[in-house]
Structure 1
Amino acid sequence: MKVIKRAVQAGLVGVLTVTAVFAQNLADAKKAFDAEQYQQAKTILKKLIAAQPAAGENYFFLGNVYLKTNYTDSAKATYSKGVSSDAEYPLNYVGQGTIELLAKNAAGAKTNFDKAISLAKKKDNTPYLYMGKAYILAKDYTTAITHLEKAKSINEKDGEVYLALGDAYIGDKKNSEAYGAYRTAFDMDKNLLRAKIELGKSVRRSKAFKESADEFNAILATNANYAPAYRELAETYYEWAKDQPNEYNAKMKQALEFYGKYMDNTDRSLDSRMRYADFLILAGEYKALEQEAQQMAQLDKANPRIYRYLGYAAFENGHFEESVKALNDFMSKVEPERVIGQDYYYLGRAKLKANDTSGVSSLAKAVAIDSAYAEPLSELAKEQFTGKNYELAAKLYQLATSNSASKTVIYDHFYLGMAYYFDYAGKTPDVQKASKDILVKADSAFSYVSQKSPTTPDSYLYRARVNRLLDDEQNSKGLMVPFYEKYIAVLAEKPEAMADARYKKNLAEAYNNIGAYYMRTNQAKAKEYFNKTIALDPTNTYAPEALKSLGN
């Protein structure tokens, strides 16, 4: 009996020792995850699963790593394996519910969440905690807060709950509440360094850049290898550089150095490389971005986001056809909702640079997603207008004018009208007969300018020219006359303009065209206008000839 007892005791000691080792390993995995060392976390968890295939928690946290690094299918499969391996462990159901929630299957999410709650012990708040995190991912912050409050009611001393509440409040744009939640989280558990990170980010949002940097440096004073602190220092110095243009170069240099330390203190996983790539875009370091993207492509050719980086970098480095190819590859590999306005903006410009006019439709998609992209299209339109590609310029100016809040909207409407006008003028007579709609669009554009800026004379001049072309040449209704008259009236308020030969020439044009119209209906008035032309410009040849034909 004593032998048996000793054997049992020895066995229990062995079990306890193994459990302690694996518990520590799971803690190490969580620590690596928090430090954004995702590859290391993944490696630890896979080893744990191999050693303990029936332990559900290892599958759950591995699924979380996959989800964090945008491998949704792998996350889904891992949570499912966790359920198969340990059907009584609740959190893998939360994982499955999260996948359903992100796929907008609310009913499927609820079924899984309810299952998790039914399996949880009375004092176990983790299902509510991770359900709250799921709703944060789904951007349903109100529901997230409801679940997190439930988790808090079960365990008010759980710093993780307050950390998640801070994230939910940030998403819900309740910054004061978020700051309080993060502060409580860190006060409760000094190991929750991300809570301290979020406090520093809150300070940065108020543009207190030095104080924000101090927060991150305080973290590094306790843990010099905590990678997220280096990343946030980089972001802080980037924002600081933008806020102080006279120190831009020096602060950007520091920002890039901090991001280098971030990379050194992660395992250079694809996710950390992508974060670095995002920063390189912000910093305008496109040569470095292209190199980084090419290295990422060698690591993982299947991740579509790499092609986005390649597309952006190739464009900025003047490799337009490569940019088009990379961005088309990216868009063909991702769900439509993952394509952002910036993707179409780069693709459209790259196509135009590669002489592919379908770039206009890509730019239209960019503007449809985010109207802010309308304003920079003004410069693209101007390039085409200067190059006398009037039809293409008109299409681009049409997009540029779609944002009425744009600072250049009046200017863009004027050049939109000009592009239509010159596009029409460049067509053959036969084509012009079928293209009057172009003139109608030009007239509408100039009309907008005259309404928004009534003292701009050229809008009336071009409306007059357009309406002259719209009128019936054989039976004129004088469509041009009121606009020429308005042009004359506006110039009368700008006597200084007469020092410009261009205005004198255009004024003579207005007098002559009004006079020509009145030759048929009011000869006295016609003579009056022709005499104004001669008084303005004695060298004008048309007015004297017209007066002769009127018997004067």
Structure 2
Amino acid sequence: MKIKIKISLVLLSCCLLSMVSWADKVQEGIELYKCGLTLPAKQVLLSELQKNGPEAAEICYYLGEIYSLIPRSDSALFYYRQGLAIDPAYLQNRVGEGKLMLVEEPYKAEEIFKEVLSGKNKKNVGLILAVARAYAENDPEKATEYLQRAKKIDDQQAGIYVLAGDLLLEKGNNGEACNQYEQAIYFDPSCTEAYVKYARIYARSNVQSGIDMLRRLLDKRSDCMLAHRELGEICYEHSRYQEAAQAYEKCISSVCCSTREQTRYATVLFYYGDYKHSLEVARQVAELEPQNQVVQRLMMYNSYALKAYREGLAQAEKFFQSVSPEDIIGQDYWYYGRLLKATEAYEQAIPWLKKSLQLDSANTQIYREIATSWEKLNCYDSAAVYYSGLIALGGKELTLADYFKLGQCHYLASAEADSSAAGIKHRNEHLRLADSIFGYVAAQKPDSYLGNFWRARVNSALDPETEQGLARPYYQAAAQILEKDTRKKLKLIIECYSYLGYYYYLQKDIPESKTYWNKILNLQPENEVARKAIEGMK
């Protein structure tokens, strides 16, 4: 007997748990509808209706409401009537029938509403609010009348203040609407739609207030997927990518998130720097929506970031074959160019990078990447053009190294000039520009040998016979710094000493010339040039 009782209790517990779970799912669907997420709401409610549970009539009412919004009046009427067939006492479905008549047969609708709100239901706040909502779209004044009627009966019903907020929001009275939503929360701290609607309004003007309101809800219901979803949406819209990623992570597998939210999740993961996870999510969306251009570009971007260049190129080719020209953004060209550059296809990369620059002329990195691509092709004249553009653009991303690279390009471009008069003029122009730039580098970084060392090379090129000794002061300045670490910079310091030794030889200052040649032999005893130079001066 005891065993039978225990079994019965276990079965009863299981049934109760099942009913609680069913009710929770129904309420989730209703919350989704109330917060404007009609597609997932419909999905949940249709699924729960098939289980034929105790709230089936209520489910039918909200399905009718959803279909009336689409609008699909025939489907809405079907569910209102199905709800009445299941439970004739659930009169919200009768209100729904009346709602469908408001536009073409308003008098019949009013008769239905009077019928519903007669007798024992005269003070039924839930039904009065249903009628008020029926009027809300086409006759807000009538809706307000019913709202006031409900408020006189019970002014502590959260639904009254939510609807009041909705009506004010339609009029553009955002602040007053938020006050009403706060009242709803005061009377019902678990009123999800009030938190969500308040947060959405404040997200436009005071994002932190919107976020704080959602966090208040999550403090009470940490498992509220809808709240996590809204938090992700707000943070996404305001480029708060880390917070958006954290919020989406908690709800992305729930019914309130579709491929739209999954696409946004992949996007924020990319901007947050979690390229591997972003690529995984993007691939999942691509399986469901192969033509989704956002995830196609994200797969291209993430492949570049993860150094999967061949995979990225394949994705880029697929993307550009399928996308309409008007849907291409500057970053698309940029990443395609970067992928080509990363695979050493410099000549092919440059046109794509140039296209990107046309659409995003403030992106300093594109200038830098075009310049380095020209360098790889030994086209220093062209490289100098883009380094100059980078420096002209300025900005906090500009570094002294960019000036140095520009100076190098001018110096190396001078060697490309031919021996014609125009070529010599072009060569000297490059050298003068290089001299000025390396002078700037030396002044900005006086503890580095680089500015003076390269300035010495430039002036040596301007004075190829060393008649004027233009390079002397710069080689001397560079040597003073290089002498601090002769082992690592041996080749460079020998270049300095060799020039100085030769310069003083031409000046007939033999002792000074020997000093520099001997310095070379002290560092590199086997140096034949230094040894022969000293022997020639005996």
Structure 2 length-normalised TM: 0.53
Letter in 2 for 1:276: Y
Partner of 2:458: 466
Letter in 2 for 1:48: P
2:300 and 2:315 in contact (8 A); partners too: yes
User: Which consecutive residues of structure 1, in runs of 5 or more, have no partner in the other structure?
Assistant: 1-26, 54-84, 87-119, 125-154, 166-179, 243-250
2:181 and 2:198 in contact (8 A); partners too: yes
1:417 and 1:441 in contact (8 A); partners too: yes
Matched, 1:271 2:260: yes
Match of residue 523, structure 1, among 484, 488, 508? 508
Match of residue 281, structure 1, among 253, 262, 270? 270
CA distance in 1, matches of 2:320, 2:431: 36
1:377 and 1:397 in contact (8 A); partners too: yes
* Higher Rg of the two aligned structures: 2
Partner of 1:195: 198
User: In the TM superposition, what are the counterparts of 1:430-445 in structure 2 within 5 Å?
Assistant: 436=427, 442-443=434-435, 445=437
Partner of 2:477: 489
Is the alpha carbon distance of 1:182 and 1:372 closer, same or farther for their aligned partners in structure 2, counting shifts above 3 Å?
farther
- Aligned CA RMSD, in angstroms, stands at 5.7
User: In the TM superposition, what are the counterparts of 1:295-334 in structure 2 within 5 Å?
Assistant: 295-297=284-286, 299-317=288-306, 318=308, 319-329=311-321, 332-334=324-326
Match of residue 394, structure 2, among 404, 408, 419? 404
Q: How big is each residue's C-alpha offset from its partner over 1:329-373, in whole Å with a ceiling of 9 and x where there is no partner? A: 47644346xx14x43442221121243323244445556766785
Letter in 1 for 2:448: T
Partner of 1:346: 335
2:286 and 2:295 in contact (8 A); partners too: yes
Is the alpha carbon distance of 1:164 and 1:272 closer, same or farther for their aligned partners in structure 2, counting shifts above 3 Å?
farther
Matched, 1:374 2:383: no
Matched, 1:31 2:34: yes
CA shift, 1:418, in A, is: 4.0
1:320 and 1:354 in contact (8 A); partners too: no
Partner of 2:71: 48
CA distance in 1, matches of 2:333, 2:261: 25
User: In the TM superposition, what are the counterparts of 1:57-206 in structure 2 within 5 Å?
Assistant: 159-160=168-169, 184=179, 186-187=181-182, 191-192=193-194, 193-196=196-199
Is the alpha carbon distance of 1:547 and 1:355 closer, same or farther for their aligned partners in structure 2, counting shifts above 3 Å?
closer
CA distance in 1, matches of 2:353, 2:455: 29
Match of residue 510, structure 1, among 472, 496, 500? 496
CA shift, 1:261, in A, is: 1.6
Partner of 1:533: 516
2:251 and 2:257 in contact (8 A); partners too: no
Is the alpha carbon distance of 1:541 and 1:287 closer, same or farther for their aligned partners in structure 2, counting shifts above 3 Å?
closer
Partner of 1:5: none
1:414 and 1:445 in contact (8 A); partners too: yes
CA shift, 1:217, in A, is: 0.5
CA shift, 1:409, in A, is: 0.9
CA distance in 2, matches of 1:45, 1:278: 34
Is the alpha carbon distance of 1:423 and 1:212 closer, same or farther for their aligned partners in structure 2, counting shifts above 3 Å?
farther
Structure 1 length-normalised TM: 0.52
CA shift, 1:511, in A, is: 4.6
CA distance in 2, matches of 1:353, 1:38: 46
Letter in 1 for 2:516: T
Letter in 2 for 1:374: T
Point out the more displaced range, 411-420 or 304-313. 411-420
Which of 1 and 2 has higher RCO (CA within 8 Å, sep 6+)? Answer: 1
Matched, 1:215 2:200: no
CA distance in 2, matches of 1:412, 1:402: 11
CA distance in 1, matches of 2:200, 2:373: 45
